[in-house]
Structure 1
Amino acid sequence: MPANDVDRRLTPLPATGYIYRTSWRVATGDLDGNLDLRLDGVARYIQDVGAENLVDAGEAEEHPHWLVQRTVIDVIEPIEFPNDIAFSRWCSALSSRWCTMRVDLVGSDGGRIETEGFWIAINSKTLTPQRVSDSLVERFASTTDIHRLKWRPWLQNPDGADETLPFALRRTDIDIFEHVTNTAYWHAIHEVMALVPDVCTPPYRAVIEYRKPIKYGEDITLEWKRHDSGQIHDVQIALTVDGDVRAAALLRKL
């Protein structure tokens, strides 16, 4: 087994337990120049599937607000347009206030993307983690033996940078908590991906860990540093505000 969490493959689809499934067609607004589904589109889709999953589980009213602490996207084979995507979502680990949720995307005409998000149930009034219901724990625990999940970062903040550039926000990038949406961070990752296309040739892994919220009006700097050592080819990325790392990211060949 790999020594580091970031090197491990994601857990496979379980044979039993509560697995939410849905499907829809790839939207043309979520495509890159090669007609492949972009990562920000993937992030948006898995968030929408999660919202549907909560309704299906009967937990949407009690747990309407969740914040993502980390998102992992493994592009095994790109999903091209036109294509219908079959989504499978299940819990891979949980505790009383947070969980990791796997979502696999499989294209009807080819393509496979595997994802995992570390999601925290949030009290919208205090903006702090809240305890989830016993019924949610019972249902989600049916697909995992890990019931005491603890937060553990996968990424370190980059040590220095090879290149930097400013990254502008739009008002549409802000969520109901007045923070930058998780999908907007992936727009920044795509800026780097365009400069290191060899690292982002499938299969590859993209990871974002959110350190501190970014608010509209703050000046963001996008920094990245490439590492090539033996079989390892990756790019470490940071979104910073006045030198403070608000999010760390990684692009790596699988």
Structure 2
Amino acid sequence: MPSTDADRRLAPLPAAGYVYRTAWRVATGDLDADLHLRLDGVARYIQEVGAENLVDAGEAEDHPHWLVQRTVIDVIEPIGFPNDIGFARWCSALSSRWCTMRVDLVGSAGGRIETEGFWIAINAKTLTPQRVTDTLVERFASTTAEHRLKWRPWLQNATAVDEVMPFALRRTDIDLFEHVTNTAYWHAIHEVMARVPDVCTTPYRAVVEYRRPIKYGEDVTIGWVRRGPGGASEVDIVLSVGDDIRAAALLRRL
């Protein structure tokens, strides 16, 4: 049995209930050197699928702003190019102000990536969680029996790291709340992945968990440490400003 949340496989596609489906072709700008879909591309795609999902559900006007507290990406088999991706999105747990949303990506020419995001409905004026509508709860609850979801971190902040490198921010990394975008964090994860390719052979899991926002102009560093027998089984990562850890991340074999 799994010993921690980060060990658990994600919830399977439900047999019934509201599952949003869409599809599009892999974009050439989202490919790595092996012509595989990068993780930052995955993060971008699941955000766009989420926006489409809210429109389809009739909830986009009441819930235009969401922040993701954690993103889990399980690369079961890489999605290469050329390929058309079929997306399936559904709720795996929810409460009155947040939910976990599963998105599976399946390539028409092969490849499978499974994801889950912990999404918080945000009031744009106060930047605090806001209660979702009863209609959203009713529709999203049709695919899960967990209706009292609570936030619980999966990752611990690495207190000591073996490697540190700077991570420069660009203006295009900033969202409407003046915070670093979700996808920019995955750019940082790719910097580490390039240095630990043995941990990132499929199937593998990548997790980013957010602590506090990063703002433009701050000096950000990436620190990481390898763990497990011979340091080969997983990599713990932190994104920091000075001594203040703003995000924790994990790379590990499944």
Aligned AA (1:215): K
> SS of 1:178's equivalent?
coil
Hey, what does 2:75 align to over in structure 1? 75
Displacement after TM superposition at 1:232 (Å): 7.0
Give the whole-Å Cα distance in 1 for the aligned partners of 2:147 and 2:38. 33
Runs of 4+ in 1 over 4 A off after TM superposition: none
Matched, 1:187 2:187: yes
Hey, what does 2:173 align to over in structure 1? 173
Aligned AA (1:64): P
> How many aligned positions are there?
254
Displacement after TM superposition at 1:230 (Å): 8.1
RMSD between superposed Cα atoms in Å: 1.0
- Deviation string 1:30-57 (CA, Å, 9 cap, x unpaired) is 0000000000000000000000000000
Q: Is the 8 A contact 2:236 2:251 kept in 1?
A: yes
Q: Is the 8 A contact 1:237 1:249 kept in 2?
A: yes
Q: Is the 8 A contact 2:198 2:232 kept in 1?
A: no
Hey, what does 1:37 align to over in structure 2? 37
Aligned AA (2:80): E
Aligned AA (1:251): L
- Deviation string 1:189-212 (CA, Å, 9 cap, x unpaired) is 000000000000000000000000
Hey, what does 2:205 align to over in structure 1? 205
Give the whole-Å Cα distance in 2 for the aligned partners of 1:194 and 1:206. 14
Q: Is the 8 A contact 2:83 2:109 kept in 1?
A: yes
Give the whole-Å Cα distance in 2 for the aligned partners of 1:243 and 1:201. 31
Displacement after TM superposition at 1:228 (Å): 2.3
Q: Is the 8 A contact 1:232 1:253 kept in 2?
A: no
Give the whole-Å Cα distance in 2 for the aligned partners of 1:180 and 1:199. 26
Hey, what does 1:86 align to over in structure 2? 86
Change in Cα spacing, 1:129 to 1:101, as seen in structure 2 (3 Å) is: same
TM-score, L = length of structure 1: 0.99
Question: How do 1:93-172 and structure 2 match up within 5 A?
Answer: 93-172=93-172
- Deviation string 1:121-180 (CA, Å, 9 cap, x unpaired) is 000000000000000000000000000000000000012111000000000000000000
Give the whole-Å Cα distance in 2 for the aligned partners of 1:231 and 1:241. 26
Give the whole-Å Cα distance in 1 for the aligned partners of 2:16 and 2:97. 24
Give the whole-Å Cα distance in 1 for the aligned partners of 2:232 and 2:50. 33
Give the whole-Å Cα distance in 2 for the aligned partners of 1:165 and 1:63. 37
> SS of 2:250's equivalent?
strand
Hey, what does 2:3 align to over in structure 1? 3
Hey, what does 1:55 align to over in structure 2? 55
> SS of 1:246's equivalent?
strand
> SS of 1:2's equivalent?
coil
> SS of 1:88's equivalent?
strand
Identical-residue share of aligned pairs (%): 80
TM-score, L = length of structure 2: 0.99
Aligned AA (1:181): T
Aligned AA (2:61): E
Q: Is the 8 A contact 2:226 2:232 kept in 1?
A: no
Give the whole-Å Cα distance in 2 for the aligned partners of 1:230 and 1:75. 23
Greater mean deviation of Cα atoms: 176-185 or 227-236 = 227-236
Greater mean deviation of Cα atoms: 229-238 or 29-38 = 229-238
Greater mean deviation of Cα atoms: 181-190 or 227-236 = 227-236
